[in-house]
Structure 1
Amino acid sequence: MDKLLLSLKIQINEKIFVKDPESSILGKKIIEESIILIDEIGFEDFTFKKLGERIGSNESSIYRYFESKHKLLLYLCSWYWGWMEYRLVLSTSNINEPMEKLKRAITIVTEKIEDDSATLHINEGILNRIIIVQFTKTLLTKEVDEENKEGFFLVYKRVINRLIDIIQEVNPEYLFAKSLASSIVEGSLHQHFLKDHLKTITNCNKTSTSTDFYLDLVQKTLRN
């Protein structure tokens, strides 16, 4: 998979950025270091001024790529879900048995992410931590309906729709495939968060993972 990822170009909605950060060394540096800095200090305290100081560049140079830190976060989330979709397709394409395909898909979207080393300027393990904590902030805004119309969440919805299709393969009569699929994707992020910060209200831990929970839940739900 790493060799394939080396040539992978995640397609991001062009309305999210001013200039494609993948088009220059500085742009890639902005992406690389913003991931690390957001993880270190949190999105609330993250500013383009602090990022500029970190990369040794003027704050104004970052605005040539992104008009706001909200748009930068949207970019990071879009990249993550595009990368996740690629892994999902690659890992399930040769599996014909529906339940086995679903189990593999659930594993992909719920497992703990490690840096794959193929994308040198993006540490997927750190980015995953950002998605767990920050992704809902891209959705829970007054602009969400307009941004949805602009297609900002299209790749995220594609990941969920791929799960919906597999769930319907497993049990075409199940009435809540959409709700189940979105609950798996969104809920797994929440379970990872609880495991790290509010341990007393989740069964997920080092030995019982979010993946274990959703595999158990889905198999019992669709079997019934």
Structure 2
Amino acid sequence: MKNLLSVVKISVPDQVYLKDPETSDLGKRIIENSILLIDELGFDSFTFKKLGTKIGSNESSIYRYFESKHKLLLYLSSWYWAWLEYQLVVETFSLSNPKEKLNKAVAIVTNTVAFDRNFSHINEVVLYKIIVNESSKSFLTKEVDSENKEGYFEIYKRLITRLSDMMLAINPNFAFSLSLASTVLEGGLHQHFLQAHFPSITNCKNDKTPTDFFLDLIENALK
């Protein structure tokens, strides 16, 4: 299994890039350093010019991979969702009990992220911080409907569908599985954001985690 993990390639919809950054050293440096720079500056202050300075390359070379910083954020978000989906599939594949499988999946999508050594050019811990703080900017745009039709968000939607199917395996008559699954996925990020910035308006602190909250919510909803 360890050898298998070392050769895994996380696939991102090719619509979001002009040239696959995984195919070159420069592309990998663009991804690695964009994560660090967005975390440092925030997405609004991040520019390709600043990224070019950081990696010692022309700004124009970055545009050969991504036509805009919006597309770069879509790439980072898609990579994260695909990586998370991979974790979910691997960790739940051998579980036959539907409740145990769902609980494991919820823990995976709502826990804080640990560093994954299988992808040396991507710091998943820092990327997770960007997803918590910035990922909504990838779809809160005027272009969201057209980008959705073009398949930009397929991985994100597929991950929600996987959670929904696990809920229906426990209660096939539950009428709101997609709504609850999307609430869990986005709500996990939101609760971690509240923990970091608005701790007075969340119960998820000390010995109570977002995972605890959503497991309790799901158990009551699926009764």
TM-score, structure 1 normalization: 0.97
- Name structure 1 gaps, 5 residues minimum: none
* Aligned counterparts of 1:132 and 1:175: Cα–Cα separation in 2: 28
CA root-mean-square deviation: 1.0
1:134 maps onto 2:134 in alignment: yes
Q: Post-superposition shift, 1:66? A: 0.4
* Aligned counterparts of 2:186 and 2:66: Cα–Cα separation in 1: 26
The 5-angstrom pairing of residues 191-210 of structure 1 reads 191-210=191-210
* Aligned counterparts of 1:97 and 1:114: Cα–Cα separation in 2: 26
- Asked whether the 8 Å contact 1:31–1:122 carries over to 2, the reply is yes
* Aligned counterparts of 1:143 and 1:160: Cα–Cα separation in 2: 21
Closer/same/farther in 2, CA of residues 187 and 2 from structure 1, 3 Å limit:
farther
| Cα deviations by residue, 1:174-207 (Å, 9 ceiling, x for unpaired) | 1110100000001110000000000110011242
**What amino acid is aligned across from residue 51 of structure 1 in structure 2?**
L
The corresponding residue for 2:14 is: 14
The corresponding residue for 1:60 is: 60
Closer/same/farther in 2, CA of residues 37 and 2 from structure 1, 3 Å limit:
farther
| Cα deviations by residue, 1:42-68 (Å, 9 ceiling, x for unpaired) | 000000000000001110110010000
The corresponding residue for 1:46 is: 46
* Aligned counterparts of 1:206 and 1:119: Cα–Cα separation in 2: 31
**What amino acid is aligned across from residue 75 of structure 1 in structure 2?**
Y
Q: Post-superposition shift, 1:3? A: 4.1
The corresponding residue for 2:160 is: 160
- Name structure 2 gaps, 5 residues minimum: none
**What amino acid is aligned across from residue 12 of structure 1 in structure 2?**
V
Q: Post-superposition shift, 1:140? A: 0.7
- Asked whether the 8 Å contact 1:33–1:51 carries over to 2, the reply is yes
Q: Percent identity?
A: 57
Q: Post-superposition shift, 1:5? A: 3.1
